[in-house]
Structure 1
Amino acid sequence: MDKTTPQEFEKLGRMVKRGFDAVDKRFDAVDTRFERVESRLDRVEKKVNTLPDKDYLTAKLADLKGDLVVLARKQDEKTNLLIEMLARKKVLGSSEVDALRAIEVFPVPRTAPSSA
């Protein structure tokens, strides 16, 4: 067996210390990067938590759809009334009235005109 001298131990100790110091510096850099990533993830999490959820959006879309149906129904009623008025005054012919009624948004069942 070789007998190692105290100088060799000291040299070996310095080499090991340099290696550990280099690794320690790398860990410090990694820690800094992790802190930045954690900060960014916190900001993303806060943004995600303030976004509306699916149920909320579904309810709002259903409300909007209902409002649009009401508006469309009112407009359709006005259009149907106008068609009736113009037909009674003989401004529109029966083929024109039929063509306009064919494109109704909310068809209304009609009875055949009575021949009195």
Structure 2
Amino acid sequence: MLPRHPHRSEDCRAISEILQRVGDKWTVLVVGKLGDGPLRFNELRSAVGGISQKMLTTTLRGLERDGFVTRTVFPTIPPRVDYELTELGHELLVPVSALGEWARRNTDRVRAAREKFDGMHA
């Protein structure tokens, strides 16, 4: 059980804002892939799979804005851009990895619960 803290609405708003970013499915996948080291945009897009160019761009911009990812542009032709986790991003990798591992371990249990629920409510 989580420790209880006094309720302050400004804390709830701040926490909610951060959880919206880090709880997003694309964020979880991108952070997980960048945990292995820096990647270029197209490498990251291929590694994540199923993400559109627009969604990956949006996700990376949000992660960069929030201090989880750095974007480094190399002056080559064509320009090379690498994305890498910051120290804060590496800290985020810990709970993200734990959540991903939990999801892998419990996929069958969740699927069974959904089937049971759907069968009872059909």
TM-score of the superposition, structure 2-length normalised?
0.22
Please identify the structure whose Cα radius of gyration is greater.
Answer: 1
Higher helix share: 1
Larger proportion of strand: 2
